[in-house]
Every structure is written in C-alpha cells, then in structure tokens.
Structure 1
Amino acid sequence: MRFYADTETGAPAPQFLQLAHAERVWRFRLLHAHVEDRPSMAHARRLGDHAHPLYHLLLYTGGRNEFLFNGRRHVSRRGVLVFAGPGERHCFEPCQPGGGQYVELTFAYQSGALNLALPVHEMLSLLTGEAVAHVPYPIPLREDQTVQLAALFNSLMALLCGPRNTLRFAVRHAVVDLLAAVLDEVYRVGAAPAAEISGIEAVRRRIERAYTERLRITDLAAAAALSPGYFIRAFRKAYGMTPIAYQQQLRINAARALLSASNLRVKVVAARVGYSNEYLFSRTFRKVVGMPPREFRRQAWTPK
C-alpha cells in the first residue's frame, strides 16, 4: 500500500484550484491519497457506512467484492469509479472476503473553519465555469478509461510519495490532470449525445461560435426546428433574453476584453466583434455598459 496524508503546518499554499462561492474563497486541501491492495477488512461491516464534508474520488483497479454507497451495496470490480461528495454515505473497503484493489483521492474545500458542502457536480461546475450535469455513481468505465485514470492516479502518488521538496504546484497540476480526465471521460459519457442536445441549446452554441456574423432569426429558428415566434419565446425562457440580445451580449463582452487588453482603435474593435458601423457600436456599447468605449478603456487602464 502506498499512502499519503496531509501534514500541513500552515505554510503558504498554492492558490491554484481555489473556488469562490457564497461570498467566500474556498481553498483546496488535499487530505490523503492511497493505492490500496489488501485482503478484506473484517471490521468493515461493523464500521458500516459514514459521511463527512469531504470529496472522495476512487477507482477500483482489481478484485471483485462489495462496497457501500448511499445506502446500497455495490459490486466493486476493475473499472468501477466513484466520486462521492459531502454528506454521501459510504464505506469503500471490501465488505466480503477476497479483498480488492483501488486508488483513492480525498480532498476538501475549506474557508476558515467551514468545509464546502456542495454536491460533486456543483463543485465541478464552479471549478470549470461550465454547467456540469449530475452523474449517478458508481459507474463502470471502459478498460482504456480505467488505464488512463489509473495512470494519472499513479503519477499523482509518485509526486506525493516522492522527495519532500516536490513542488506543491506540481501536485496541484497532477490533481487538475486527474479531474480533467474525469470530466472528459465520465461527464462526456454521462451527457446526452450531440444528436440529443436540445434544439435551443444547439442554437445557443451556434450563436457563441458565430457571434460576429449576421444571424437571422428565421435561420436560427429553422435550425431548432421551431417557428420563429415560438423559438424566441423558448430561447428567452431558457436563457433570460432573446437570441439577438444574447448575441449582442457576447459582442459587447468581447469588446470590453479588447478595449481593456489592447490599444486597437475603437473602429477596429467594433469591426472585430461584428459591427461594421462604429457609431452603432459606440451607441450600443454605451447603452449596455453605461459609458462610451473610450471612457471604458480610460478607466480600465487607470491604476486602481
């Protein structure tokens, strides 16, 4: 068994992986990780399942046994993945004779004396800035996915169990690699196939890809297989604004970024975000932002 436990003494920690939620900053803390390969634990049944405000990412890599998760017994075998969040009851040790092998990572998000208690998918949504759907665990992985995740777990363990002067930033990077693989493999698998994405969502993505172009409501509605009037109402219900307002928001957001981070002339900025008329761009920008583009740039460039 390879094992790591956090011995943090209050030294400055990397700010990589922090979250902002509920007007607090939540600091990532890796509590422990281990590679487990042992016979069944006679006391596992007596301990039973338990819950705490932590996150567990666990992959079974060998053997066949049972474990407890959310009030049910599940079969543990190679390729079974569990991502448990705060409050989810569990006991991952083998419940039956015969043992089992798994790799596990346990971490928390802390703000002072508080631990973040969001479900896994909501935590991942904050971390990625994307809407991450709920996935019911445990789930079985394909062999290629199992090999990939096991290799990333082992790379992380090599850093954690290596020389004590290993950069903690490198450890955080290894955690990101592992979480990114889970997001790509598991949440892509759990998501609806592209053909099943709603027509409204498909059109929203189309607008994001082509926000600088001239888009017609009739074309967008046809892409969603809806009448123009129903399409506009459905889009507003889903996203809080009309399709054209959404496109305008994207254009103005892009203009704000260019004005803040470049010295491009306003006319050039307008053209790059899809406006052929500088006056129309400036009028629209002022209406949305509350000031003209040049004033916005002046304030953005003024040291605070």
Structure 2
Amino acid sequence: MISISGNAMKEWHEFGVANTDCFLTVNCCGYQKLMTRNLERNREQGRADYQLIYIVRGKAVFRFGNEEIVAGGGHMVFYAPGQPQNYCYYAENTTEVYWIHFTGHAVHDYLEQFGLVGGSIYEIGSMDETVALYNKIIFELNMNKPFSGHVTTAYLLEMLALLGRKFQHGEEHHKARQYADITMIIGVMHERYSEQLVIADLARQCSLSTFRFIHKFKDVTGTTPLKYVTDIRINEAKKLLSESSLHVREVASIVGYDNPLYFSRVFRSTVGMPPSEFKKQFL
C-alpha cells in the first residue's frame, strides 16, 4: 500500500479530535493506494470529527446500518461525528482514495449551505480540482510553515464550495430539462418583447393551460409572465433614455407601448420616477 498523509497534530488520534474553539480546521488528510492487501476500518462509535473520503478509482464497500453500498471511482463518502464507520477498500481493484478529517463550530453550517447534509454517499464523478486540493492540504500539513492552519482551512473551504457548486449544477441541470418549455418561452419574450404578447398564446405554445403556465413560469423565474415582460421593456427603455436622443414618446413605441401616458405610469411605478425625469439625469 502507498500511503501519504499529513497531520495538524503531533500524533495520530484514531477516533479524532473535536475543536469548537475555531470555526473550521483540518485535523489530518491523506492519500492511499491499495496494491496487495485490503484495508478495513471498523469504528463502531465513529470519530469525534467529520470525514470526507473521495474514491478516485477502484472499489470500496461501505456499511450503513444493515445496508452495504458498493462505491467506485467518482464517489464521495461523508461521515459526521459519532457516525459508525465500517468500510473496506479492495486491493484487487487497485483502489485509490483521498480522505480528510476536519472539525469546528461552523462545520455544520458550511455543510448545510453547500448541500452536504442529509446523505452519506455522493456521486460527483471525476473532479481534478478536488484531488488537487487534497494534495495541497497534505503538502501544507507536512511543510509546517507559518499560518499553515489558515491555509489548510482555506483549501478545505474551497473544496466544500466546489462540491456545493457541483451539486447545485446537477439540480439546475435537472430543473432546466424539467422546464425546457418555459426556457423556450423566456427566449421568445426577449426576442419579441416589443410586440403585444398574450399570455394565453404563450401558454398554448407550451401546451399548458394559462393557470398552469403562469404557475410554472413563476417556479422558474420567481415572477409572473406579465411582470417579466414589463421588466424587459422598462430595462430597455432605461437604456434608450440614457444612451440616445430619442424622446419619451419614441422610446415608448420602440419598447411596445402605443400609449405614452400609460408607458410613463408603468415606468414611474417600476423605476420610481417619470421617464422624462430619468432622461434628464443623462443630459
């Protein structure tokens, strides 16, 4: 077995160390490559700190309660303090893993923010950035330079943030597929905002009832279709008023309002001042 590790403490603590005096700190970090013998861990009482294991390649089996889960390359395993740890890395698969133990009073808040609470095994795929950060932390722990603790904490925080981004991107990708029809309509709105768009017509393009279309549109954008189009028009009007010599009446017509008085009311309601007063700021 090839094993490389770094420890922030002077000696190894099999069951970890909890430190609530700091917001986030790395206890130890390492890399292992199994070549001839399997490696098994059985910590029925878990550890006092948190652990993230990243399997680069190979095969490992993790037991959570009565369930055994086979994990391979691209899987990350999370252990909370006090959670039983029972797992085995297999040498026949030339298993390679990175691991890190960390603690601090703000750990749970960070994990919750980045979506690492509520699960034990995550499929994250190949993440070269994560591997690089593990290696940087190991190197820093072994160099024992000034402010090493701050540097390793910064690397760990970057790692957690990248994992959070990975999870969020996956959710956004799923949402994008689920709401492809609304995404299409949003594109139509940006292209044809100056036309008289009818909500019922937009709903029919999505094969939805008007009620369902408005509800689904609000799920994606946080606002109604009418408000969304209005915002596009007013933002374009602000640009034309500030960057051109066009009169208010001309701007109103360009962005889709036949009645300049109605345009002025909408503009004032949205921006907080009449379009004429807004334009004076740029003369």
TM-score between both structures, scaled by the size of structure 2: 0.55
In structure 1, the partner of 2:77 is 82
Asked if structure 1 preserves the Cα contact closer than 8 Å seen for 2:124 and 2:166, the reply is no
1:283 pairs with 2:269: yes
1:3 pairs with 2:10: no
1:221 pairs with 2:224: no
C-alpha change, 1:195 and 1:124, in structure 2 (3 Å) is: closer
Give how far 1:59 is off.
0.6
Of the three residues 33, 49, 56, the one matched with 2:51 is 56
SS at match of 2:143: coil
Give how far 1:29 is off.
0.4
Instruction: Give, in whole Å, the separation in 1 of the partners of 2:56 and 2:218.
Output: 47
Instruction: Give, in whole Å, the separation in 2 of the partners of 1:237 and 1:146.
Output: 31
Instruction: Give, in whole Å, the separation in 2 of the partners of 1:133 and 1:110.
Output: 15
Asked if structure 1 preserves the Cα contact closer than 8 Å seen for 2:44 and 2:85, the reply is yes
Instruction: Give, in whole Å, the separation in 2 of the partners of 1:104 and 1:91.
Output: 13
C-alpha change, 1:187 and 1:51, in structure 2 (3 Å) is: farther
SS at match of 1:226: coil
Cα deviation 1:238-284 (Å, max 9, x = unaligned): 777523335667999x9xxxxxxxxx99x53999xx89966643332
Cα deviation 1:44-74 (Å, max 9, x = unaligned): 33x326377x653321235544233465323
Give the fraction of aligned pairs with identical amino acids, expressed as a percent. 16
1:230 pairs with 2:230: no
C-alpha change, 1:164 and 1:70, in structure 2 (3 Å) is: farther
Instruction: Give, in whole Å, the separation in 2 of the partners of 1:102 and 1:157.
Output: 13
Give how far 1:226 is off.
2.0
In structure 1, the partner of 2:121 is 137
Instruction: Give, in whole Å, the separation in 2 of the partners of 1:228 and 1:81.
Output: 43
In structure 2, the partner of 1:161 is 142
C-alpha change, 1:117 and 1:183, in structure 2 (3 Å) is: closer
SS at match of 1:116: helix
Of the three residues 105, 111, 125, the one matched with 1:110 is 105
Asked if structure 1 preserves the Cα contact closer than 8 Å seen for 2:39 and 2:88, the reply is yes
Instruction: Give, in whole Å, the separation in 2 of the partners of 1:176 and 1:236.
Output: 33
TM-score between both structures, scaled by the size of structure 1: 0.52
Instruction: Give, in whole Å, the separation in 1 of the partners of 2:222 and 2:167.
Output: 30
Instruction: Give, in whole Å, the separation in 1 of the partners of 2:124 and 2:99.
Output: 16
Asked if structure 2 preserves the Cα contact closer than 8 Å seen for 1:275 and 1:281, the reply is no
C-alpha change, 1:175 and 1:249, in structure 2 (3 Å) is: farther
Asked if structure 2 preserves the Cα contact closer than 8 Å seen for 1:200 and 1:235, the reply is no
Alignment of 1:172-187 (within 5 A): 173-183=154-164, 185=166
Alignment of 1:10-25 (within 5 A): none
Larger radius of gyration: 2
Give how far 1:116 is off.
3.2
SS at match of 1:165: coil
The number of residue pairs the alignment matches comes to: 241
In structure 2, the partner of 1:124 is 114
Instruction: Give, in whole Å, the separation in 2 of the partners of 1:154 and 1:58.
Output: 13
